[in-house]
Amino acid sequence: MSGGGGLTLYEVTVRHQGPFGPITAVDGVSLEVPRGTTVGLVGESGSGKSTLARAIVGLDPPCSGRIAVGGREYGGRREADRRRLGQQVQLVFQDPDTALDPRMTVRQSIAEAAGAFVRLDRRGREQRVGELLELVGLDAGCAGRLPRQLSGGQRQRVAVARAVAVGPAVLIADEVTSALDVSVRAALLAMLRDLQRRMGFAMLFISHDLAAVRQVADAVAVMYLGRIVEAASTESLLRGPRHPYTRTLLSAVPSLHAGRRPAEEPLLAGEVPDPASPPTGCRFHPRCPVGPARHAGRDVCAVRDPQRDAAGKPHRAACHFPYRADDRPPQARRVPPDDDGDRTPRTPGDLPS
């Protein structure tokens, strides 16, 4: 495996026990996050991205596939196995309000993590806590406070400090900005990038916020119903999305500066399928704007899973009929800013056939 010090996932599958039988939340996901880089993982709720994160850190062990850090696999469920994994991979949770023990001061929380694998004396611990607080951009005065005495952004920084205190090779950030106000998001993302530059960990940045992903990620993978449907470098994916699902996702993001979008332009047909009985073939085909529901003769989508053909390419799009890179990006379809979106008629023929 060519992971270097990074994270490599190979055909990882995670099943949950649902009320009506097993649900495959993550279905054969292969992904590589090289050392010192960030891969953004986007997808809607229920796409399996958080389950994948929990699988990587060992909270929901996968039922098949391999997870390797720096080329080494970390399996097993004994305490010793968990400790070996914890030294390599750490997770930052979505909600900073609940991720910190409300009864422990910032100092106690960070010192606990810093002393999890190395023995530190009192002075060493104090010094390490000071270093970590500085790394995440908090002043030393915060150390004696309880989580409820901090703002949301500060709490999330403490959670990051705790996660990097063990010096992990891989950091997983699960929706770390979604509970924060927009005015502090940018600063947290900048801090994460800076931290990565200094410490060199590989980062899997999970989010549904494409703008945030764009700010930190070198590459992006898009998940739909447990599978990765498209993966490419950030600019390549956001500028020229090939998979119809990625396109839909991008065009649904409201933009402040690009002007109002036309009203009631249909976005996606139907509802998200039940993950307990996902569609055959390409999982997106019943809702796909270029699939068999809209175009005759594209029955292959309902039969054959396009994933295999896509593997190994630099811009991999698991689609039998992908868009070309020079097709117009979704932003180009917006109406000029001074038009009232409500009254603009929809222009037909936006989608290439």
Partner 1 sequence: MGVITLAMLGSLAVLAVAGAVVWGQQADRPDPSAVLRGPTAGHPLGTDRLGRDLLARLLAATWPSLLPAVAATLLGAAAGITLGALTAVVGGRAARLLGALINLLLAFPALLVAMFFAALFGAGAGGAVFALAVACAPGFARITQTLAAQVAGTDFMAAARVLGLRRHRLLLRHVLPHIAEPLMLNTAVAAGSALVALSGLSFLGLGVQPPSYDWGLMLSQGLDRIYTEPLPAVAPGIAIVYATVAFQLLGEMLAGAAVRQARPRPEEEPVAHAARADRPASTDHVLEVEDLRVVLPTADGVVRPVRGVTLTLRRGELVGLVGESGSGKSLAALAVADLLPDDARVTWTTHRFLGADAESLTREQRRRQLATGMALIFQNPASAFNPSLRLGRQMTEAVRAHRGTPRAEAVEQALAQLQRVGLPAGRRLLRSRPFQLSGGQRQRVAIAAASMMRPDLIIADEPTTALDVTVQRQIMDLLRRVRREDATAILFISHDIALVADACDRVLVMYGGTIVENLPARELAAGARHPYTRMLVASVPDLAADRDPPPLTIEGGPPDPCGTAPGCPFHDRCPHRLDRCAVDSPVLSPLRPEHEVACWRPLPAAPLGGARETEEVEK
Does position 110 interact with partner 1 (CB under 8 A)? The reply is no
Q: List, in order, residues 6 or more apart from 313 with CB less than 8 Å away.
A: none
Residue 216: in which H helix or E strand, if any? helix 210-216
Does position 145 interact with partner 1 (CB under 8 A)? The reply is no
* Sole binder of partner 1 in the list 140, 263, 303, 325 (CB under 8 A): 263
Footprint of partner 1 on residues 293-332 (CB under 8 A)?
331
Tell me the window of 3-11, 27-35, 57-65, 309-317 that interacts with partner 1 (CB under 8 A). Answer: 57-65
Question: Could you give the angle at the alpha carbon of 158 between the alpha carbons of 154 and 161, nearest 5°?
Answer: 135
CB of 186 to partner 1, least distance (A): 4
Of the pair 43, 322, the CB lying nearest partner 1 is at 43
CB of 235 to partner 1, least distance (A): 8
Determine the size of the site formed for partner 1 (CB under 8 A).
75
CB of 64 to partner 1, least distance (A): 19
Closest by CA position to 89, among listed 129, 117, 122, 119: 117
Does position 162 interact with partner 1 (CB under 8 A)? The reply is yes
CB of 137 to partner 1, least distance (A): 11
* Sole binder of partner 1 in the list 119, 264, 296, 314 (CB under 8 A): 264
Strands 21-33 and 7-18: antiparallel
Of the pair 2, 183, the CB lying nearest partner 1 is at 183
Strands 316-317 and 227-233: antiparallel
CB of 303 to partner 1, least distance (A): 26
Does position 254 interact with partner 1 (CB under 8 A)? The reply is yes
Largest CA distance in the chain: 72
Does position 250 interact with partner 1 (CB under 8 A)? The reply is yes
Angle between helices 122-135 and 106-114 (to 10 degrees): 110
Give the span between the Cα atoms of 221 and 246, in whole angstroms. Answer: 10
Q: List, in order, residues 6 or more apart from 126 with CB less than 8 Å away.
A: none
CB of 321 to partner 1, least distance (A): 20
Does position 151 interact with partner 1 (CB under 8 A)? The reply is yes
Footprint of partner 1 on residues 211-240 (CB under 8 A)?
211-212, 214-215, 238
User: Coil, helix or strand for 317?
Assistant: strand
Footprint of partner 1 on residues 188-207 (CB under 8 A)?
189-190
* Sole binder of partner 1 in the list 63, 120, 184, 302 (CB under 8 A): 184
Footprint of partner 1 on residues 8-47 (CB under 8 A)?
44-45
Of the pair 103, 197, the CB lying nearest partner 1 is at 103
Give the span between the Cα atoms of 191 and 142, in whole angstroms. Answer: 17
Residue 59 is given by DSSP the state S
* Sole binder of partner 1 in the list 261, 283, 285, 316 (CB under 8 A): 261
Angle between helices 152-164 and 106-114 (to 10 degrees): 20
Tokens 């309902």 — which residue? 302
Give the span between the Cα atoms of 56 and 206, in whole angstroms. Answer: 13
* Sole binder of partner 1 in the list 64, 127, 255, 280 (CB under 8 A): 255
Does position 90 interact with partner 1 (CB under 8 A)? The reply is yes
Strands 219-224 and 227-233: antiparallel
Q: What are the structure tokens assigned to 69, written together?
A: 């850090």
User: How many other CB atoms are found less than 10 A from the CB of residue 244?
Assistant: 26
Does position 280 interact with partner 1 (CB under 8 A)? The reply is no
Of the pair 296, 332, the CB lying nearest partner 1 is at 332
